[in-house]
A and B are shown apart, each in its own frame.
Chain A
Amino acid sequence: MSSETRTNQESRGYRATPARRAFAFVRNTWRGLTSMRTALILLFLLALAAMPGAMLPQRSLNEPKVREYIAEHGWWGELLDTLGFFAVYGSVWFSAIYLLLMISLVGCLAPRSVEYVRSMRAKPVLTPRNLSRLPHHASSTVTSDADDVLATARKRFKGWRTTERDEGDGVRSISAEKGYLRETGNLLFHFAMLGLIISFAIGKMVVYEGQVIVHADGSEFCNSGIYAYDSFNPGLRVDGTELTPFCVRVNDFKPTYTELGQPIQYRADIEYSSGADLASNTWRPYQLEVNEPLRTAGDRVYLLGHGFAPVFTVTFPNGEKRTQATQWRPADQTTLLSDGATKFDPPGITDSATRRDNQLAVTGLFAPTPVFNGKILSSAGPKLTDPTVAVDIMRGDLGIDSGYGQSIFAIDQSMVEKGALERVARENLRVGESITLDDGTTISFDGVQRWVSLQVSHDPTQLWVLGFAVAMLVGLALSLLVKRRRVWIRVAPAAGAEGGGRTVIEVGGLARTDQAGYGDEFDEIAADLLNQDTRSP
Chain B
Amino acid sequence: MPVDETLSRFSDWSYNTATLIYVLAMVFFAVEQAFGRAGRLRAERTAARKHELVGASAGGAVDATARTPAPISTPAGSAEPPLSPSARRSTSRAARFGRMGVSLTVLGALLHLAALVLRGLATSRVPWGNMYEYVMAVCLIAVVTWLVVLRKYPSVRHLSAFVLLPVVILLFVGGTMLYATAAPVQPALQSYWLIVHVAAAIVSSGMFLVPGVASVLYLMRDSHESNSSRFAKLAGHLPGRDLLDRLSYRTTVLAFPIYTFGVVCGAIWAEAAWGRFWGWDPKETVAFVAWVVYAAYLHARATAGWRGRPAAWINVTGFALIVFNLFFINLVTTGLHSYAGVG
User: Can you name the residue of chain B whose Cβ is closest to the Cβ of A525?
Assistant: B62
Interface presence of B220 (CB below 8 A): no
Contact of A47 among B61, B67, B277, B296 (CB under 8 A): B296
Please indicate the chain B residues that have their CB under 8 angstroms from the CB of A263 in the complex. Answer: 186-187
Contact of B261 among A40, A209, A473 (CB under 8 A): A473
A36 to B256, CA, bound (A): 20
Interface presence of A362 (CB below 8 A): no
Whether A54 and B267, one on each chain, are in contact in the complex, defined by CB atoms closer than 8 angstroms, is no
Q: How far is the CB of B307 from chain A (nearest CB, A)?
A: 10
Whether A89 and B184, one on each chain, are in contact in the complex, defined by CB atoms closer than 8 angstroms, is no
Interface presence of A266 (CB below 8 A): yes
Whether B280 and A60, one on each chain, are in contact in the complex, defined by CB atoms closer than 8 angstroms, is yes
Contact of B299 among A40, A46, A520 (CB under 8 A): A40
A258 to B292, CA, bound (A): 41
A50 to B184, CA, bound (A): 34
Whether B303 and A37, one on each chain, are in contact in the complex, defined by CB atoms closer than 8 angstroms, is yes
Interface presence of A43 (CB below 8 A): yes
Chain B 283-309 interface mask (CB, 8 Å, partner A; 1/0): 101101100110110111111011000
Q: How far is the CB of A135 from chain B (nearest CB, A)?
A: 7
| Of A115-123, A137-145, A426-434, the one touching chain B | A137-145
| Of B42-50, B229-237, B268-276, the one touching chain A | B268-276
Whether B299 and A36, one on each chain, are in contact in the complex, defined by CB atoms closer than 8 angstroms, is yes
User: Can you name the residue of chain B whose Cβ is closest to the Cβ of A259?
Assistant: B2
Interface presence of A537 (CB below 8 A): yes
A88 to B288, CA, bound (A): 14
Q: How far is the CB of A520 from chain B (nearest CB, A)?
A: 8
Interface presence of B65 (CB below 8 A): yes
Whether B67 and A291, one on each chain, are in contact in the complex, defined by CB atoms closer than 8 angstroms, is no
Whether B288 and A469, one on each chain, are in contact in the complex, defined by CB atoms closer than 8 angstroms, is no
Q: Which residues in window 101-138 of A have CB below 8 A to B?
A: 132, 135-138
A498 to B178, CA, bound (A): 77
Interface size class of A (residues with CB under 8 A): 35 or more
A292 to B269, CA, bound (A): 10
Please indicate the chain B residues that have their CB under 8 angstroms from the CB of A300 in the complex. Answer: 275
Whether B303 and A293, one on each chain, are in contact in the complex, defined by CB atoms closer than 8 angstroms, is no
A44 to B194, CA, bound (A): 31
Q: How far is the CB of A141 from chain B (nearest CB, A)?
A: 9
Please indicate the chain A residues that have their CB under 8 angstroms from the CB of B293 in the complex. Answer: 43-44, 47
Please indicate the chain A residues that have their CB under 8 angstroms from the CB of B272 in the complex. Answer: 291-293
Interface presence of A58 (CB below 8 A): yes
Whether A472 and B65, one on each chain, are in contact in the complex, defined by CB atoms closer than 8 angstroms, is no
Contact of A481 among B61, B257, B278 (CB under 8 A): B257
Q: How far is the CB of A168 from chain B (nearest CB, A)?
A: 22
| Of A8-16, A19-27, A511-519, the one touching chain B | A511-519
Please indicate the chain A residues that have their CB under 8 angstroms from the CB of B64 in the complex. Answer: 519, 523
Q: Which residues in window 484-537 of A have CB below 8 A to B?
A: 514-517, 519-520, 523, 526-527, 530-531, 534, 536-537
A51 to B293, CA, bound (A): 12
| Of A219-227, A386-394, A458-466, the one touching chain B | A458-466
A214 to B151, CA, bound (A): 60
User: Can you name the residue of chain A whose Cβ is closest to the Cβ of B321?
Assistant: A47
A43 to B311, CA, bound (A): 13
Please indicate the chain A residues that have their CB under 8 angstroms from the CB of B193 in the complex. Answer: 291
Interface presence of B228 (CB below 8 A): no
A17 to B76, CA, bound (A): 72
Whether B300 and A40, one on each chain, are in contact in the complex, defined by CB atoms closer than 8 angstroms, is yes
Please indicate the chain B residues that have their CB under 8 angstroms from the CB of A43 in the complex. Answer: 292-293, 295-296, 299
Knowing A39-B299, A262-B183, A514-B249, the reply to whether A138 touches B190 (Cβ < 8 A) is no
Tally of contacts, chain A with chain B, CB under 8 A: 155
Whether B188 and A470, one on each chain, are in contact in the complex, defined by CB atoms closer than 8 angstroms, is no
Whether B281 and A290, one on each chain, are in contact in the complex, defined by CB atoms closer than 8 angstroms, is no
Q: How far is the CB of B271 from chain A (nearest CB, A)?
A: 7
Interface presence of B89 (CB below 8 A): no
User: Can you name the residue of chain A whose Cβ is closest to the Cβ of B56?
Assistant: A132
A470 to B278, CA, bound (A): 15
Q: How far is the CB of A383 from chain B (nearest CB, A)?
A: 15
Whether B264 and A469, one on each chain, are in contact in the complex, defined by CB atoms closer than 8 angstroms, is yes
A293 to B202, CA, bound (A): 27
Chain A 295-309 interface mask (CB, 8 Å, partner B; 1/0): 000001010100000
Chain B 172-190 interface mask (CB, 8 Å, partner A; 1/0): 0000000000011011101
Whether A291 and B285, one on each chain, are in contact in the complex, defined by CB atoms closer than 8 angstroms, is no
Whether B250 and A516, one on each chain, are in contact in the complex, defined by CB atoms closer than 8 angstroms, is yes
Chain B 209-245 interface mask (CB, 8 Å, partner A; 1/0): 0000000000000000000000000000000000000
Contact of A462 among B1, B277, B280, B301 (CB under 8 A): B277
Whether A54 and B260, one on each chain, are in contact in the complex, defined by CB atoms closer than 8 angstroms, is no
A54 to B183, CA, bound (A): 29
Whether A140 and B61, one on each chain, are in contact in the complex, defined by CB atoms closer than 8 angstroms, is yes
Chain A 27-66 interface mask (CB, 8 Å, partner B; 1/0): 0000000001101100110110011011100101100000
Interface presence of B59 (CB below 8 A): yes
Whether A515 and B276, one on each chain, are in contact in the complex, defined by CB atoms closer than 8 angstroms, is no
Whether B303 and A36, one on each chain, are in contact in the complex, defined by CB atoms closer than 8 angstroms, is yes
Contact of B61 among A50, A138, A200, A515 (CB under 8 A): A138
Whether A530 and B62, one on each chain, are in contact in the complex, defined by CB atoms closer than 8 angstroms, is yes
Please indicate the chain A residues that have their CB under 8 angstroms from the CB of B301 in the complex. Answer: 514
Whether B62 and A455, one on each chain, are in contact in the complex, defined by CB atoms closer than 8 angstroms, is no
Q: How far is the CB of A258 from chain B (nearest CB, A)?
A: 7
Knowing A50-B292, A55-B333, A516-B246, the reply to whether A466 touches B285 (Cβ < 8 A) is no
Please indicate the chain B residues that have their CB under 8 angstroms from the CB of A88 in the complex. Answer: 280
Beyond A50-B289, A54-B286, 10 additional pairs, beta carbon < 8 A:
A43-B295, A264-B184, A290-B187, A292-B272, A466-B268, A470-B264, A476-B260, A480-B256, A481-B253, A517-B250
What are 24 residue pairs bridging A and B, where the CB atoms are less than 8 Å apart in the complex? A37-B306, A39-B299, A51-B285, A60-B280, A61-B279, A61-B281, A200-B278, A258-B184, A263-B186, A264-B184, A291-B187, A291-B188, A291-B190, A291-B273, A300-B275, A462-B271, A473-B260, A473-B261, A480-B257, A481-B257, A515-B253, A519-B67, A520-B67, A523-B64
Contacts from A to B (Cβ < 8 Å): 36-37, 39-40, 43-44, 46-47, 50-51, 53-55, 58, 60-61, 88-89, 132, 135-140, 200, 209, 258, 262-266, 289-293, 300, 302, 304, 455, 457, 459, 462, 465-466, 469-470, 472-473, 476-477, 480-481, 514-517, 519-520, 523, 526-527, 530-531, 534, 536-537
- Across the A-B interface, give the 6 residue pairs with the lowest CB-CB distance, nearest first: A54-B285, A54-B282, A519-B67, A132-B58, A291-B191, A43-B296
